[in-house]
Structure 1
Amino acid sequence: MGKAGQALRQVLESYNISQSQLATGLGVERPIVFRWYHEKIDPTAETVVEIVKALNKINQSAANEFIQVYLGDLILLKNQIITQDLPLSDKVDVTVLARIFNNITNSYKYLYFLSLLDILKRRKFDTLSPISFQEIIVEMLANAWYPHKYFKLSFGIQDQIANKLDTLELEITEPILKFRDTDKKLLRNTINHQNLDDIVVSINRYVSYRLIRPFFTQETRGLKDYDVNPDIINLANNQFHTKKPLYCFNAEDQRNCNAIILHPDWIQYLEENYTIVRGWASWEWLNYMQQGNPSTPNVVNKLFMPQERDSLANQIKYWKTILKHRDIECIYSKVKLDKDEISLDHYLPWSFVAHDQLWNLIPTTKYVNSSKSNNLPSEEYFKAFVELQHKGLTIAYENISNNQWLKYTESFVSELKVSQADDLLNLEVLIKAYRITTLPLISLATIQGFSPNWVYA
């Protein structure tokens, strides 16, 4: 916790923006901004978007710096990225690069370009040797693994990369699942150990050639589809030093092409502007994925491997306070809980909601939590879940300060869409709010492939 708070504090101080100014711009009370500022709580991904909008009205430079500091390499939350946001160059035509994602119906080009950037960075932008199609496709599959296999996002009807991933029998080890495979090395290795010949041919049938078609728009206009790839190979190879496409190919005939050779001027440009270019490409991919997953929460946090999971220290402290005043049973196992041995369960799996908000967290045992994993609980637990949340809220209300109570209930009020914190003490209101909020999410998660109807046995 605290990444957004750190970024917010830095920006408000740098641009002399008061917490009250930001609160007014957001239409929230100042104490909420105060808690973000002092890293007591983190705003949700959706709230971060609203913060950017509010900062943009106060000072556009402050908004841009907040995005840069908060998201680092990704820069995912800009409302609009236009050509001039990509730094211009006197060596390469950046306006053409800005068009490579126009008129896209699947994720291939986004993943291809992002994978090229990853490979370039890993090679420290030293790419005198060609980059093979296989290396790029492996990187694409690795980049697609977390959003598709772990977070179960839809890639769209016309997109085959998810289907290709599903055909692979990958050995997914704990470091991959626990986000410790920081450069995707283990994931790439396990993908590389598969027979990828057919997948490389299938995925690469168009993308390597069509990605750079904007560099030759005039020359390829009106061509029959089967003539486009051969012409692009010919144009890229013959005009490599004059037209300066992003890359050319290692052969003159498509049947013999198995690698690309990046133009040295583009390598220099991408190295000098890596953060901005990757942020632009990530933003474009986010827009595409949000269109395909319109009701899915927190898509912004599911496109790339999380760097680390946030600490649950504050949430554990909350439930330990409850257990200090009242005995509680696990809703799944009916075992009496020991406050010093609890494990927090995400009622809706973390890999679906991608947040650690209290309204979705209840105490259980480590064994039960491990058993439930990323499964969706059976409907039979719903009433007990809400009653436990109600018990916790009631005990907290009676035993902690009003400021603490408002702090802990902030996510309940915003996500369950109740009028005020005191409404949470009404069990009937709480059951209705949870039913309206969680049931559609459970249905959506089931459609996306999360296992439903889990029952502890």
Structure 2
Amino acid sequence: MYNLPNDDSLDISALSRLFESTTNSYKYLYFLSLLDIIRRNNFDIVSPISFKDIIVEMLANAWYPHNYFKLSFGTQDHISNKLDSLKLEITEPILKFRDTDKKLLRTAISNQNINDIVAFISNYVPYRLIRPFFAEDTRGFKDYDVNSAIINLSKNKFDNKKPLYCFNAQKQKDCNAIILYPDWIDYFKKNYVLVRGWASWEWLKYMQQRNPNIPNVVNKLFMPQQRDSLSKQTKYWKTVLTYREINCIYSEVQLNKNEISLDHYLPWSFVAHDQLWNLIPTTPSVNSSKSNNLPSQIYFADFINLQHLGLTVSYNHIPQNKWLKDIEPFICDLKINQADNLLNLEILTNAYEITLQPLITLASNQGFSANWVYA
């Protein structure tokens, strides 16, 4: 899908093979994190980049998909295991996607003891990532000879092979940083969007294979820049509340249309979207209490009945063209073959049971807290 821009002075073919035969997340995260560091430094890097700085960036990049969205990186992945073991102080700006450039998250990670994961990743990933630049030179090598060979080759052939980087020492035990080749920094500066898009696409393919049943993986790999506004969805429910009295399905409190909060019945951090079929009005305090928990089954019928009420009232009180536009996600995601069937409670209930029950089970298995009840 992505073709990297050509450059006559650099081995773009080797760059395009960085992720060949990759069986874990490390190379993807290492390269994406390196791009983040280069960009954050305005493509003006003259000093070595330490292994630790790159790995802190890797852990920060891995935090959102693993801890927030609960994606799997694979059963043997040590990055996810390490993140699970860290006692990070996660502040509201991080959770609300206001942590510009992951600064707070990187600081929280840096303040932890991560020497074990730094040593583990540094033992292989920095060397194996650039092996495609020396594929012929290392063909047939025993595995234990590869790292030392790449250290020497990247140093001795730095000017003619032009690998992404070389290392700051001649022996692996002394290596703790990489030195970027200047022409590659210029290449990334000129082509950052395309290179980042290519690496992100490769990362997405890897993660989709390990999360085959998870919805919307593409929107869970990186920290969203900001949450989308719910103004249209709020207007929809305010219209419904104008014509009908509605009680919160969790607290049974009568709702005031001017003081509602919209609840994602399936947590946003699981579905990563704001479609109307998953949104219902509640009070701000109830919504805050529910957070990203999965509601108890005792609310399921009331949720469907409220959605049916919303569809029926909106059908009767808003222009047909607008109603048809509003209900498109219901038809598409709930797989209901025509708009009028949304007004049939039996058909709607059946569609919700078929669609949501497997997702609830999947989210629970993925680690989202289940059986939440408002108290």
Shorter-chain TM-score: what band? over 0.9
Q: Does 1:110 align with 2:28?
A: yes
Root-mean-square deviation (Å):
0.9
Counterpart CA distance in 2 for 1:324 and 1:270 is 54
Counterpart CA distance in 2 for 1:448 and 1:204 is 29
The residue correspondences of 1:299-448 to structure 2 (distance < 5 A) are: 299-448=217-366
Q: Does 1:290 align with 2:215?
A: no
1:263 deviates by 0.6
TM-score for both structures, normalised by structure 2: 0.99
Counterpart CA distance in 2 for 1:202 and 1:222 is 24
Q: Does 1:242 align with 2:172?
A: no
1:97 deviates by 0.3
Counterpart CA distance in 2 for 1:116 and 1:398 is 55
Instruction: Find the counterpart in structure 2 of residue 159 from structure 1.
Output: 77
Counterpart CA distance in 2 for 1:269 and 1:408 is 45
Q: 1:2-31 CA deviation, whole Å, 9 max, x = no partner?
A: xxxxxxxxxxxxxxxxxxxxxxxxxxxxxx
- Give 3-state SS (helix, strand or coil) of 2:246's partner: coil
Instruction: Find the counterpart in structure 1 of residue 106 from structure 2.
Output: 188
State the identity %. Answer: 70
Indicate conservation of the 8 Å contact 1:376/1:454, yes or no: yes
Q: Does 1:272 align with 2:190?
A: yes
Indicate conservation of the 8 Å contact 1:250/1:257, yes or no: yes
1:228 deviates by 1.0
1:265 deviates by 1.2
Indicate conservation of the 8 Å contact 2:78/2:117, yes or no: no
Q: Which of 214, 219, 222 is the equivalent residue of 2:132?
A: 214
Q: 1:327-372 CA deviation, whole Å, 9 max, x = no partner?
A: 1111011111111110000000001111111000000000000000
The residue correspondences of 1:132-171 to structure 2 (distance < 5 A) are: 132-171=50-89
Counterpart CA distance in 1 for 2:231 and 2:195 is 36
Counterpart CA distance in 1 for 2:361 and 2:154 is 48
User: Which structure 2 segments of 5+ residues have no match?
Assistant: none
- Give 3-state SS (helix, strand or coil) of 1:363's partner: strand
User: Which structure 1 segments of 5+ residues have no match?
Assistant: 1-79
- Give 3-state SS (helix, strand or coil) of 1:203's partner: helix
Question: Residue 400 of structure 1 aligns to which amino acid in structure 2?
Answer: I
The residue correspondences of 1:4-153 to structure 2 (distance < 5 A) are: 80-81=1-2, 85-153=3-71
Q: Which structure has more RCO (C-alpha within 8 Å, separation ≥ 6)?
A: 2
Counterpart CA distance in 1 for 2:201 and 2:164 is 20
Indicate conservation of the 8 Å contact 1:105/1:158, yes or no: no
Q: Which of 89, 92, 100 is the equivalent residue of 1:174?
A: 92
1:429 deviates by 0.6
Indicate conservation of the 8 Å contact 1:100/1:211, yes or no: yes
1:158 deviates by 2.6
Instruction: Find the counterpart in structure 2 of residue 223 from structure 1.
Output: 141
Q: Does 1:452 align with 2:366?
A: no
1:161 deviates by 0.9
- Give 3-state SS (helix, strand or coil) of 2:262's partner: strand
Counterpart CA distance in 1 for 2:46 and 2:76 is 35
Question: Residue 79 of structure 2 aligns to which amino acid in structure 1?
Answer: I
- Give 3-state SS (helix, strand or coil) of 1:127's partner: coil
Q: 1:152-209 CA deviation, whole Å, 9 max, x = no partner?
A: 1111123211111111111111111111112111111111111121110012221101
Counterpart CA distance in 1 for 2:238 and 2:188 is 50
Question: Residue 219 of structure 2 aligns to which amino acid in structure 1?
Answer: N
TM-score for both structures, normalised by structure 1: 0.81
